[in-house]
Amino acid sequence: MNISTGIKELDYMIDGGLRTGQCYAIKGTAGAGKTVLSLFMTLGALKQNIPVLFISTEVEPSKIIDYVKSFGMDFDGYIKKGLLAVDKITLKPQGVNLVQTDKFDLSAIIARTKAKMASIKAKLVVFDSISAFIAEFQYEKTARSGFMDFIREITKEDAVLILTAESQVSEEHATLEEFLVDGVIKIRTELISNQLVKRISVPKLRSAQPISFENRFIINKDGIMILRAENPPTIFIKEEKTGIDRLDELLGGGIPAGSVILIEIDGETNYFPLFLTTLFHQLKKNKGVIIHSNVHMHSARILEEFERVECDISSHLNEGNLVFIDKYNRTVTAVEAREISQLMTTDDMVSVTVELMEAFTRTEQKSVIYGDLTDDVNILSETDFLRYFALQSFNVKEKRAVAYSFINHNAISREILARLRTTADIIIRFSRVNYTNYIECMKSSTGATFLPKVVKFRSKYPLVEIIG
């Protein structure tokens, strides 16, 4: 069962809504709005007549009911209808002295929560907050492992469990809560020109596609507002096309000449349909295509793939519009094209590419370069590679060409990826989750970015179709 959070944009971010049997954590620093968000999610469920159990570890139920009135929520009404129960759980009730040891479990709150859930048939349980609760224990480790049982037992009841957890400002790594739960909703606050700006993201989402964007998160007296980070294109570009109509449209009509496009893929995704579609489009438009061959993107395979999808490129090969540069001195057969097959240094590569681009310019052809950089990163030294990439990018810009660089972002270091991203004009991420392929644009020189969209493969040209 899917439970809507009542906030449309948040539903979108967590793949349609909260799934029963799963546990979500709302993380954020103090004052980020974790409790407010959890209260709005409570209200969202109540509006759909889904019973909710709200457990507070810090505040008395009466105070919460008073507090939500300022947002125009009538919790009293829902309590009377039997849809809502607000409970307080604390280890140390007033006037009690504690002596603690490290040998205990949390079966009492599990049983109490289950009993409460049964009494109102709750499908959503909000626990605010786990950090405050754990802090009451002298032996936090035991409490945390006990809390794992709590998560397990509550989600077993076919309900959604939402935990709020405080994150530290300096926190770089995932904390225990993040490993335990199925989804993490993170609220981050930062000070931008003297204003506190809140951003919301979903860094973890089990069994669904997480949104890799941070959206703006705004709390005001009307409630919660989430603004999507997807930017519509601002300028209309006619210069160059990728050959995938929907992609061009999303990018604002096309791509500017002189762009370096970085296509990030994970190791599992087959980027060939995307690659072949754009490549075939360039050939049809009588452009000069230079392919830096390597292990994946080698001439024989490309020709085979074209044959398989029944795209005839023989005329382009004969005319010499398609050139393979073989970087690592591998014997290339079956190509009746201009071939330069010798062991090359990166400088050779750069100069050969420039020469080819110039040759294409002489015949009034625009050049397009394709390459899979993954192997280069791993074969070349870091400085050699970065120098090579920078030089190629510079030449592409100078010659008003377009370069498509494919890279497996899982196979290279974060630092290299960050540097590639800085140099690239357009970053397109191509990923696969649960046998569904997604395409998204993370950066664009024209300001047009878009969130992941489903990609479908076809057996005939055009091989890719973007849905949505």
Partner 1 sequence: MELKILFFTSATCSWCPFIEQVLERIVKEAPHLELEIIDITNDISRAEEMEIVAIPTIILPNNQRIIGAADETFIREQLDFYLIMG
- Residues of this chain that interact with partner 1 (CB under 8 A) are 89-91, 93, 95-109, 111-112, 115, 139, 142-143, 146
**What is the spatial distance between Cα 177 and Cα 130, in angstroms, rounded to a whole number?**
9
Least spacing, CB of residue 53 vs partner 1, in Å: 13
- Of 287, 370, 375, nearest to 328 by C-alpha is 375
Q: Which is nearer to partner 1, 95 or 170 (CB)?
A: 95
Q: Report CA Rg, the chain.
A: 28
Q: Which is nearer to partner 1, 78 or 133 (CB)?
A: 133
Q: Which is nearer to partner 1, 92 or 458 (CB)?
A: 92
Q: Which is nearer to partner 1, 101 or 170 (CB)?
A: 101
- Of 455, 443, 399, 392, nearest to 418 by C-alpha is 443
Interior/surface letters 348-382, b for 16+ CB within 10 angstroms, e for the rest: ebbebbbebbebbeeeebbbbbbbbbbbbbeebee
Helical segments of 399-467, H only: 414-423
Least spacing, CB of residue 57 vs partner 1, in Å: 10
Q: Which is nearer to partner 1, 148 or 197 (CB)?
A: 148
Least spacing, CB of residue 163 vs partner 1, in Å: 16
**What is the spatial distance between Cα 337 and Cα 289, in angstroms, rounded to a whole number?**
12
Q: Which is nearer to partner 1, 115 or 191 (CB)?
A: 115
- The DSSP symbol for 214 reads P
Least spacing, CB of residue 205 vs partner 1, in Å: 30
Least spacing, CB of residue 98 vs partner 1, in Å: 5
Answer for the pair 206, 212: CB distance below 8 angstroms, yes or no.
Answer: no
Least spacing, CB of residue 129 vs partner 1, in Å: 15
Q: In 129-241, at which residue ranges do the beta strands (DSSP E only) sit?
A: 160-166, 183-192, 195-205, 215-220, 223-227
Answer for the pair 215, 9: CB distance below 8 angstroms, yes or no.
Answer: yes
Q: Which is nearer to partner 1, 103 or 221 (CB)?
A: 103
Least spacing, CB of residue 117 vs partner 1, in Å: 12
